[in-house]
Amino acid sequence: MNPGCRAFRRSLEQLLEDARGPQEWTSLSWHEHLLGCRDCRALLEAEEALELLLASLPAPSLPPRLARRVLARLRRGEATREAALDRLLELDPAAPAPSDLARVVLAGLESERAQPAEARLDALLERARAVDVPGDLPRRVLAQLAPERTLVRRRRPILARRPVQLALAAGLLALLAAWAFWPHRAGLRPERELAQAPPGVDARMLEQLDLLEQWDLLRRNDLDSLLSTLPQADQLLFEMGSEEGAPGG
């Protein structure tokens, strides 16, 4: 953390609050600070403030709820990746922030304003939209396809015909109903037989069949295998701990 960071973050806070300040902070120094300071870049990235800042052209304001959220995080030091933001709260009141800070940021960070360039490209593409479709195209296409259609109609299988399908479905339903309510179903294995292990096979082994099928994978002790098979709750716990500066051991 250096004085540049404090000044930058004060500027950001003032921007978010729409405060006005003296005009001494140049776009270049803001830009250069960001180029050189991973932590401040991380702050902007993590909060997505930059995307919304740039998306808020031409009026340099953030949606109020996001502004409040980022401000609160700045104040409480809870940015997702920055655990020591309380240092930021030692703000340097003398650090100036230009009132048109958003435009200054944009000028520094972008070689051209994305939105108007996009609009210009869209306008260019529009000019290439028109295609001269022949008026009688459908008629010609249908004429060319006629022989194939006739051939396919002749070949159309009997089973593709709707009345045949319905008759088959009704017959199948009747069979299913008979199967469901018939007291004895010859040739089908009762559930209770399936619920026991086959002869010569330990039922406890069957209960662990999932584990046994994954045996090679479970016995791997390369680091990625160990890390990725941590229980998910532990993974999340360690990630959160890391973000919040928990001791690492």
Partner 1 sequence: MKHAHALLLVLAVLSLCVASRSQGASQSDALADARRRWEALAPDEQARMKTRWEHYKSLPEGEQRELRARAQVVLDLRQRAARRLPVPLRERVQQLPEPQRGQIHSELLELEMARIGARMRAVLPPEVVQELEQARPDERAKFFADYQVKQRVRVTRYMIERLGKRLGLAPEEIERLKKEPEAQGAARVLELRQRLTQEEGREFGLPPGLTQEKWQSLLALPPEEFFERLADHVRDRQLAGAEAGIGSGGARPAGDSAQGLPRLRALRRLQEASQADPADLVELAYESPQARREEVAERTRERCLRILSEDQLISGDELERWRSLNGPAFAGQVEKLIAPLLTRWRPPADEKR
Partner 2 sequence: MRTDFDDDPGVQWMRAWQAGDESAFDALVEAYSGQVYSLLTRFLGPRANREDLVQEVFLRVIRARERYEPTARFATYLFRIAYNIAINETQRAGAREAGRVEFGEGSAVSNLEDARVQRPAAALEQGDVVRDVRAALARLPENQRMALLLAKFEDLPYSEIAEVLGSSEKAVKSLIHRARENLRTHLSAYLEEEDA
Map the footprint of partner 2 across residues 26-85, applying CB under 8 A. Answer: none
Tell whether the torsion through CA atoms of 96, 97, 99 and 103 is positive or negative. Answer: positive
- Does position 24 interact with partner 1 (CB under 8 A)? The reply is no
Q: Give the list of residues 6+ apart from residue 77 with CB closer than 8 angstroms, or none.
A: 83, 84, 85, 86, 88, 89
Tokens of 175: 């069979």
Tokens of 201: 């096979």
- Contact with partner 2 (CB under 8 A) among 75, 76, 156, 185: 156
17 versus 118: smaller Cβ distance to partner 1? 118
Smallest separation (angstroms) from partner 1 to the CB of 27: 13
Tokens of 147: 């022989």
Smallest separation (angstroms) from partner 2 to the CB of 145: 6
Interaction with partner 1 in 111-140: which residues (CB under 8 A)?
A: 111-114, 117-118
Tokens of 57: 């052209």
The binder of 172, among partner 2, partner 1, none, by C-beta within 5 to 8 A per type, is: partner 1
- Does position 91 interact with partner 1 (CB under 8 A)? The reply is no
Span interacting with partner 1, options 18-26, 132-140, 151-159, 203-211, rule CB under 8 A: 203-211
Q: What is the rounded distance in angstroms from the CA atom of residue 249 to the CA atom of residue 247?
A: 6
Greatest alpha-carbon span in the chain:
93
Q: Is 216 helix (H, G, I), strand (E, B) or coil?
A: helix
Tokens of 163: 């009345």
The binder of 127, among partner 2, partner 1, none, by C-beta within 5 to 8 A per type, is: partner 2
- Does position 158 interact with partner 2 (CB under 8 A)? The reply is no
- Does position 180 interact with partner 1 (CB under 8 A)? The reply is yes
Compute the C-alpha angle 119/122/127, nearest 5°: 135
The binder of 144, among partner 2, partner 1, none, by C-beta within 5 to 8 A per type, is: partner 2
Compute the C-alpha angle 143/148/153, nearest 5°: 115
18 versus 244: smaller Cβ distance to partner 1? 244
- Contact with partner 1 (CB under 8 A) among 5, 42, 89, 107: 42
Q: How many angstroms separate the Cα of 151 from the Cα of each of 138, 141, 155?
A: 20, 16, 6
C-alpha of 31 from chain center: 29
Span interacting with partner 2, options 17-25, 42-50, 151-159, 212-220, rule CB under 8 A: 151-159
- Does position 117 interact with partner 2 (CB under 8 A)? The reply is yes
- Contacts with partner 2, residue ranges (CB under 8 A): 112, 117-118, 120-122, 124-125, 127-129, 131, 133-134, 137-138, 140-142, 144-145, 148-149, 152-153, 156-157, 160-162
